[in-house]
Chain A
Amino acid sequence: MNAKLADRIATVVFYLIALLIIGILAGLIGFILVRGLAVIDWHFLTSPPSTMTAGGGVAPQLFNSLYLLVLTMLITIPLGLGGGIYLAEYAKPGKWTDILRLSIEVLSSLPSIVVGLFGFLVFVQYTGWGFSLAAGALALTVFNLPLTVRVVEQAIRSVPREQREASYALGVSKWQTITQVVLPAALPGILTGMILAAGRVFGEAAALIFTAGMSSPMLDFTNWDPTSLSSPLNPFRPASTLAVHIWKINSEGIIPDAKEVAAGASAVLVLAVLFFNLTARALGRWIHKRMTSGS
């Protein structure tokens, strides 16, 4: 075959591959939104699921997903910042740093079901909490922390050396340079990465089946006492999230409208992911603009 013809054919094939992938995504999102948006209404978002009959909603699951995300972020952000700063600013090449990097690599590639099983042993059984939001948040931390550390480290490393040197030249100490000069400059990258990580946490299910559990107790949304069992704020109550709910009703659900509820919940999840994605981009751009042109 002559080389020019082969080149033509290859080009066409690459175009087809690109089109196929865009087609798959468009089909996937289109399918979920078309099926799901038909189901989502105020009633769906604000009423509890039903166990036997059709017409239940996802209110507690939606709340649990958001609350779990907040709890996870409360633990992950300080630890992630600490780990990231350590790797970018303090770590010296050597055995100990190698072990740390390897740990991050292994933790971030572990299957989430393995993380879930570990959480089940340690946070559900040994602590005696049982299936609980706290156990779920800790398991999600295990799975989110390595990502966050990487994001923070990368963002800090991308801050130009000159900024640090200017700060040191003024006699500012290392820690103050980190917190007052480097961190603000790295903020757009850190925020963008963390929001994307939040999107992943929001849709996670396998790690939660064994830690936060697959059911929610009846919640009383007027009860804001975090120690009460029916309070939505109680971190030691079992909680199923949107993603876990989708899995559960599809694999063992007995409600007649399982497909509709799953479609609605999937659409909410995908919209949330889209929202996280767009927010992360917009926020990154906005901060970047403010930091580079203003002051």
Chain B
Amino acid sequence: MTQRFRADLAIIADLIPEGSRVLDLGCGNGDLLQLLTQKGCTGTGVDLDPGNVLECLRRGVNVIELDLDTQLGEFADDSYDFVVLSRTLQTVYKPRGVLAEMGRIALHSLVSMPNFAHWQNRLRLLRGRMPMSKDLPFDWYDTPNLHHSSIPDLEPLFASLDMVIDRRIPLDADGHRHRAGNLGSNLLASSALYVLHARR
């Protein structure tokens, strides 16, 4: 699955300064952390999927198996420079709780989330069907996505948690920066990547 997200992971890796210590929540097979070792970064992945955890171990990526919704308390305050939550926020039970923990664990966060208000999704809804797309490749009854939000829906959540948006990077369906940039992003962007910092 992560293969499809390579472009978006490369953007995330570019945004993280050399030598940073990174906690990657929902790290999948460890692609991002492996990419980051090339920049002298260290870090830990978190995932619950056994196949992903084994692949991380096989690749030499540190991985801690735990539940994002209930067990992020295992990580100490400010123990990382960056916490990454890539395309996972919509799958956790309590996005607010997870984001609050991220702000506690690191000053800087990178969060990406599919934009359910993308024009193709709107069209599908207008035709009377639930959105399905490259970014949302699931039937409604068989999806890990518990929460659906648009870009304007998401941003007040960050604000309410004292997480300041340093950058918003709209992405296209392939995970590349959207050519239109922030212009009409809630209509055009398939997903959005946020660089945040916690107000302390």
Q: Do A and B bind each other?
A: no
